[in-house]
Amino acid sequence: MRHFSDPGQARHAPQRELHNGGWMDFAESPARFAALLDALGPGEPARDFGIEPILAVHDPAYAAFLREAHDLWLAAGREGDAMGYVFPVVARRALALDRIDAKIGAFSMDASTPIAAGTWAAAYGGAQSALTALDAVLGGDNAALALCRPPGHHCGADYMGGYCYLNNAAIAARAAQARGVRRIAILDVDYHHGNGTQDIFYDDGEVLFASIHADPKTDFPFYWGHADERGSGQGEGATLNLPLPQGTDWSGYAPALDTALDAVRAHGPDLLIVSYGADTFAEDPISHFKLKREDYATMGGMIATLDLPALVVMEGGYAVDALGANVAAFLEGFDSQSGIRP
Ligand code: Q9C
Ligand code: ZN
């Protein structure tokens, strides 16, 4: 399948993140993007579809904040990356948001999502990559890959978190709907639960969100992704969470993937969006599953047997030296099975 990206995606380069009460190097580094381009080749450039498809998902005040946050940080006399430290768990909407510290807390779910000088350019470029790859699929490609970086699945309509600023999968889903594709399935195979994507579509019965992830009892993002979250209102039953324990290898993962694929088939979508994270890899430095490179080929092949037009968007994966090969294995597995009916 073809792949798409924007050079601006390299411009997001925060220095560090808060981790277990101290600092560590920022795991979601520009080196991830370089490794993907090294392994897969340069691919094709994203086209610019403008801000509207982003605002079909994200609150305009949040998007404006993302764009200006680092400038406000510098204007407040700070240096380095903008980071929040106070979070309004009470009366979130009623707050006066004058200081950068108030804004950044109100638009965040965590303190591991710093804003650097190039963050907006990178997030915007990544969203355009997803829209460009979507356009290839709606134009007749059976599948396409958006090399989004930063990732997207932890951020909601009006909050960032988990290294995510714009929800690329959600933006693509809403853009597809605007072009007449009503029923969509989002399959999230990143190690972490895609809480932002779940939030955005929680009441929406047309968009299935199915996710396989580390049990939030033990893993980020803790407050979402439990098996009893199944959607609400019109969306009741259109959210499927399949949490798995730390240490899960392919023998534990494959049955969950079968369950998720059955749910996708039952939903009857016209488009599949895969939020693909390679942080399920055994050697991932911040995650605790035990998948091997060859498992990604199997996974890709199983997903391809759905026989649906598919947009793949990159989410996490922090074993930088192995990332390119892990993504390539997934693509080879997918492409080898695509067009073959189950
Ligand atoms: N310092 C994605 O994979 N915090 N996000 C972990 C380690 C956040 C991962 C703590 C992990 C978010 C897209
Ligand atoms: Zn992840």
**How many A from CA of 220 to the centre of ligand 1?**
7
- Side chain identity at residue 75, one-letter code: A
Q: Which helix (H) or strand (E) holds 140?
A: none
- Side chain identity at residue 295, one-letter code: D
Half-sphere exposure of 113 (CA within 13 A, CB side): 25
Length reported for the chain: 342
User: pLDDT at residue 94 above 60?
Assistant: no
CA 245 – CA 226 distance, rounded (Å)? 12
CA 142 – CA 136 distance, rounded (Å)? 9
Q: What is the per-residue DSSP string for 15-67?
A: -EEEETTEEEE-SS-HHHHHHHHHHH---EEPP---SHHHHTTS-HHHHHHHH
Atom 9 of ligand 1, residue of closest alpha carbon: 162
In this structure, how many other beta carbons lie within 10 angstroms of the beta carbon of residue 101? Answer: 18
- Position 117 confidence tier, pLDDT thresholds 50, 70, 90: very high
First to last CA, the chain: 20
Does the beta carbon of 53 sit less than 6 angstroms from any atom of ligand 1? Answer: no
Q: What is the mean pLDDT of residues 13-27?
A: 94
User: pLDDT at residue 254 above 80?
Assistant: yes
pLDDT of residue 92: 63
CA 238 – CA 301 distance, rounded (Å)? 24
pTM: 0.97
Q: What is the mean pLDDT of residues 291-299?
A: 98
> pLDDT (tens digit, 9 = 90+) per residue, 255-271?
999 999 999 999 999 99
H helices present in 285-339, as ranges = 293-304, 320-337
> Parallel, antiparallel, or unpaired: how do β-strands 16-19 and 22-25 relate?
antiparallel
Q: What is the per-residue DSSP string for 105-155?
A: HHTBS-SS--B-TTHHHHHHHHHHHHHHHHHHHHTT-SEEEE--SS--TT-
Q: What is the CA radius of gyration of the chain?
A: 18
**How many A from CA of 28 to the centre of ligand 2?**
10
Q: Is the distance from CB of 108 to CB of 160 less than 8 angstroms?
A: yes
Residue 64: phi and psi, rounded to 5, are -65, -40
Residues within 5 A (CB) of ion ligand 2: 190-192, 277, 279, 316
> pLDDT (tens digit, 9 = 90+) per residue, 145-166?
999 999 999 999 999 999 999 9
CA 120 – CA 129 distance, rounded (Å)? 14
User: pLDDT at residue 342 above 70?
Assistant: no
Mean pLDDT of the chain: 96
Atom 13 of ligand 1, residue of closest alpha carbon: 316
Question: Active-site residue among 58, 70, 154, 192?
Answer: 154
Q: 24-28, 101-105, 227-231, 330-334: lowest mean pLDDT where?
A: 101-105
Q: Is the distance from CB of 241 to CB of 192 less than 8 angstroms?
A: no
Q: What is the mean pLDDT of residues 314-342?
A: 93
Structure token pair of residue 161: 């978190």
User: pLDDT at residue 91 above 90?
Assistant: no
**How many A from CA of 341 to the centre of ligand 1?**
36
CA 308 – CA 327 distance, rounded (Å)? 20
In this structure, how many other beta carbons lie within 10 angstroms of the beta carbon of residue 218? Answer: 11
Q: Known catalytic residue: 154?
A: yes
**Which of 192, 212, 219 has most ligand 1 atoms within 8 Å of CB, for mutation?**
192
Does the beta carbon of 17 sit less than 6 angstroms from any atom of ligand 1? Answer: yes
Percent of the chain predicted with pLDDT > 90: 93
In this structure, how many other beta carbons lie within 10 angstroms of the beta carbon of residue 37? Answer: 18
